[in-house]
Amino acid sequence: MLLSLSYLYILNCPKLQLPCLPSVKKLHVRECSNEQLKSISNLNGLNDLELHGSDQVLCFPEGMRDNMTSLATLEIYSFRELKELPSDITKLTALSDLTISDCRKLECLPEQGWEGLSSLRKLSILYCDSLGSLPDGVRHLTSLQSLIIGACPMLKERCKQGTGED
């Protein structure tokens, strides 16, 4: 059943639990729930994961990133109540592209483990109104080719030439 399914798009089905689907390489989920996020770890062949949140998700569940050893692209959009990213996001060693957008209450990124993201080439942070700084560990992203920061007023102030702390 569904042995050759490689792309899965789920729209507003927050109660849908994902079974083990090893052939799925690309997953897009819109209006997801914590329960659904937990079941994503069943998709151990994922290369590309795009998550569009809901206001009910306050944090990502533990173990969600288990088995995601081949994840290259992670896009996180519209988790408007999310205050922090889990620290184990830095264990996604194959990750080359990370986008975080419209997470208005996101206050911080993980402090530790950035050196583990040795494949990360592109980091985009957009519309994160409450994000006050980048962790020092970002300096360890030796493969980073593109850093895009936009519509993050607190970060903009810190990075202002001549007057900002950074």
Instruction: State the pLDDT confidence band at 156, using cuts at 50, 70 and 90.
Output: confident
Tens of pLDDT, residues 57-77: 888 887 777 788 899 999 999
Domains and CATH numbers, the chain: 7-14+21-150 (3.80.10.10)
Tens of pLDDT, residues 83-104: 999 888 998 999 999 999 999 9
Q: Tokens for 14, please give them.
A: 């927050």
What span, in angstroms and rounded, lies between the C-alpha atoms of 63 and 40?
A: 9
At 9, phi and psi to the nearest 5? -120, 125
Closest by Cα among 156, 89, 151 to 120? 89
Angle at 131 between CA 88 and CA 140, to 5 degrees: 50
Q: What's the pLDDT score for residue 128?
A: 97
Q: What is the maximum alpha-carbon separation in the chain?
A: 60
Tens of pLDDT, residues 104-153: 999 999 999 999 999 999 999 999 999 999 998 998 999 999 999 999 99
Q: What's the pLDDT score for residue 65?
A: 78
Q: Tokens for 30, please give them.
A: 């819109």
Distances (CA, A) of 156 to 75, 142, 165: 22, 23, 10
Q: What's the pLDDT score for residue 1?
A: 61
Q: What's the pLDDT score for residue 41?
A: 86
